Structure 1
Amino acid sequence: MQPPPQPPPRSGPPPGPPDVALSTGAVARHLGVSPNTLRSWERRYAIGPARREGGRHRRWSPQDIARLELMCRLTAQGVPPAEAARAALDAAPAARAASGAPHPAPGGPGPLRLGEVRPECRGLARAAVRLDAPSVAELLDTALAEHGLVTAWEEIIAPTLHAVGRTWASAGERYVEVEHLLSWHVSAAMHRLRPPPAAPHPAAPPVLLACVPDELHSLPIEALAAALGERGLPVRMFGAALPARALRDAVRRTGPRAVVLWSQTRTTADAALARSVADIEWGLRGARGRPALLLAGPGWGAGAPQPRAERLFGLRSGLEVIAALAADAAPTNGAGRAGPAAYGS
């Protein structure tokens, strides 16, 4: 399962505050903080919007948002919130704009270059760069609740992870802490998703998910495991860097309907291991089973898949392939379960 390709980052200064008055939720997404944080700042430090509709609904103007951006930048640099709020309230956004200088964006050592992305993605990136763990957790939970796991992964979470990875890869050790914090919270958010009650047939063969040996990047198959759980499909998740012998033993012990092997880089992809997993059989003579082997991740390259294997590309399409495997009632080629050849590989 390979994350969808991302558009190239745009050059130039980061975008300034929006030109229209926004709701509290929209401002929170823009800044990468939670709506509760904005309300708390308004109560404690009087750094609220100047305009309300009907006396109740807050509408944040560009000047209001500029003050909040300055407060976010100052708190990211270690300034206490009360002092940062006073400085932001005393500042003159109009004078800064008239000077022609680009407005500073919140976020520690500098903003991530994201290109054309959803506002939720930009807000999540800003919160991650600030190392604002509570906001990262809340923004992830909100994205998953509002958009569902697949859309949240493909349009919000994965683009942010790609941007962090590109930045630290080109900037030495900078931003490594951002990637670690964001990755941990993404994993935790997916673990918080509650699968539906067990299906009526708990003995149905599971889908086995594992990274190849030496592969430590497991977030994409964690997303796949959560998505399969949402559909009520049984899953056995073994995570990062599963040793080859342990992988083969797990396949023999569980008799899975499919095995998904994730490889992030060419250096970890192991064609010999893939072939050995595809050759594993179990059961009585004359009625042996064999798993469908699904190779996921960019490490496997763009060439033809291994014999008796199929490639997965993206969470959404990979989920559909596995769901079809679970529901398929095609002839089993004498192997007790349909082999990968029945699914277009």
Structure 2
Amino acid sequence: MPPQDPPTAGLSTGAVARRLGVSPTTVRSWERRYAIGPAHREDGRHRRWTPQDIARLELMCRLTAQGVPPAEAARTARAGAPGAPGASGRPAQAAAAGPPATQPPGAPLPAPGGGPGGLLPLGPVRPECRGLSRAAVRLDAPAVADRLEAALAEHGLVTAWEEVIAPALHAVGRKWATAGERYVEVEHLLSWHVSGVLHRIRPQPAPPRTPPVLLACVPGEQHTLPIEALTAALGERGVPTRMFGAALPADALHDAVRRTGPRAVVLWAQSRTTADRALARSVAGIEWGLRGARSHSTLLLAGPGWGSGPALPHTGRLLGLRSALELIAPPGPPPGPLPAAPRP
């Protein structure tokens, strides 16, 4: 048995990716886009991830799994674990938000006269996100629709989702969670218009006989917007999809997998109370086809409900829209089958 490297030598990108349950491409993409790479490179070229580097990545994984946009998650991860002092001595979340100013970008928005009281905390976001949030708080439906269309036209679906739409939705959701029943109407209005604009994105034609990607929420789960965004983004890349929406019963999910023979199944759970690991195991084990030539799908678990517990056999995790696309539909020729999960 060859000797193992001492812990101080660090891990390779592939080893880190296996440890986190993501693809090496995702780890490299985060390093390139969000400056969250290792501090040391062996021989000036090869990445070697120290325990401190890996801890930052693990924190980023947890945050993105909870629905935090990757750029915001990376800022928090670089500053340190939540509640721990960052480089400036402030808590990491405060450090990630940037220095205070008289009117910083993304300052909390006051509710309009006659509307719900309190503030809508956004943090450092794009101006388009602030405009969308203001329109939603005013219940100005035409302005919400206009700002969503403009963000998609200007930035494309992935950036618009990560940096404009998702931060606005999260801010409204956080306000609702801390303000009782107030702001529910704001969340419903914004969610309705986001869903509408996603449904209007026309998919590109798929190559003949391309197996689809099946997307569904677990039984009892009503939050669909993240997988609606993934459905639209896959369609833009010419990947056929079968979207079953909210709260698909378990028997119906099993039947849909057997009838469609999908290349991948994306199963969304927003809450730990709805994330059913037994259901996930059974879906991962579904096979179809002629006797002696059976096939199975790759199961991809998405959403914060699945938590950060031990990985289920024959499954993968999706940690945000961009990394999901890199795994399911990377740029290049039309996608073929995903690598099959090994069978015992």
Say yes or no: TM over 0.5: yes
**Structure 1 partner of 2:341:** 340
Q: What residue is the counterpart of 1:153 in the other structure?
A: 161
Does the 8 Å contact 1:190/1:223 carry over to 2?
A: yes
Cα shift readout 1:224-270 (whole Å, capped 9, x = no counterpart)? 00000000100000001000000000000000000000000110000
Corresponding residue number in structure 2 for 1:174: 182
2:309 counterpart of 1:303: yes
- The aligned length equals 254
The higher radius of gyration belongs to 1
User: Is the alpha carbon distance of 1:319 and 1:341 closer, same or farther for their aligned partners in structure 2, counting shifts above 3 Å?
Assistant: farther
For residue 249 of structure 1, what is the amino acid of its counterpart? D
Do 2:239 and 2:335's aligned partners in 1 also have CA atoms closer than 8 Å?
no
- Secondary structure at the counterpart of residue 309 of structure 2: coil
Q: Which has the higher contact order (CA 8 A, sep 6+)?
A: 1
Give the match for residue 288 of structure 1: 294
How far apart in 2 are the matches of 1:14 and 1:188?
A: 36
Amino acid paired to 1:158? A
Aligned in 2, Cα 1:273/1:141: closer, same or farther, shift over 3 Å? Answer: same
Equivalent position of 1:195 in the other structure: 203
How far apart are residue 109 of structure 1 and its match? 3.2
Q: Contact between 1:269 and 1:299, CA under 8 Å: does it hold in 2? A: yes
**Alpha-carbon contact 1:108-1:130 (below 8 Å) kept:** no
TM-score (ref. length: structure 2): 0.67
Structure 1 residue 315: Cα displacement:
0.3
Name the residue aligned to 1:255: 261
The CA deviation at 1:305 is 2.0
CA shift digits 1:104-160 (9 cap, x unpaired) = xxx763441111111111111111000000000000000011100000000111111
Deviations 1:303-345 (A, max 9, x none): 232110000101000111111597357xxxxxxx741359xxx
Residue 267 of structure 1: SS of its match in structure 2?
Answer: coil
Counterpart CA distance in 1 for 2:135 and 2:303 is 27
**Who is 1:55 aligned against?**
none
Q: Which amino acid aligns with 2:286?
A: I
Cα separation, partners in 2 of 1:15 and 1:179, compared to 1, 3 Å: farther
Aligned partner letter, 1:120:
E
Contact 1:111/1:129 (CA < 8 Å) preserved in 2? Answer: no
Unpaired segments ≥5 residues, structure 2: 1-63, 77-92
1:129 to 137, 145, 162: 137
Residue of structure 1 in register with 2:220 after alignment: 214
Matched residue SS, 2:199: helix
1:64 aligned residue: none
2:62 equivalent to 1:4: no
State the 1:192 CA deviation.
1.2
Counterparts of 1:14 and 1:171, CA distance in 2: 26
Is 1:278 matched up with 2:278? no
Q: 2:125 matched to 1:117?
A: yes
Equivalent residue in structure 2 for 1:163, among 164, 171, 183: 171
**CA distance in structure 2 between the aligned counterparts of 1:132 and 1:11, rounded to whole angstroms:** 30
Q: What CA distance in whole angstroms lies between the structure 2 residues aligned with 1:231 and 1:11?
A: 36
Q: Distance in 2 between matches of 1:14 and 1:160?
A: 21
Q: Give, in whole Å, the separation in 2 of the partners of 1:300 and 1:157.
A: 23
What TM-score results when the alignment is normalised by the length of structure 1?
A: 0.67
Deviation at 1:11, TM superposition (A): 12
Q: Which amino acid aligns with 1:211?
A: C
RMSD: 3.1
Distance 1:108 1:173 in 2: 10
Kept in 1, the 8 Å contact 2:220–2:274? The answer is: yes
- Equivalent position to 1:267, from 237, 262, 273: 273
> Which residue of 223, 229, 242 maps to 2:248?
242
Contact 1:255 1:282 in 2 (8 A): yes
Letter in 2 for 1:254: T
Runs of 4+ with deviation above 6 angstroms:
9-15
| 1:140-197 superposed Cα distances (whole Å, 9 cap, x missing partner) | 000011100000000111111110011010110110100000000000011111222x
Identity %: 67
Are 2:229 and 1:223 aligned? Answer: yes
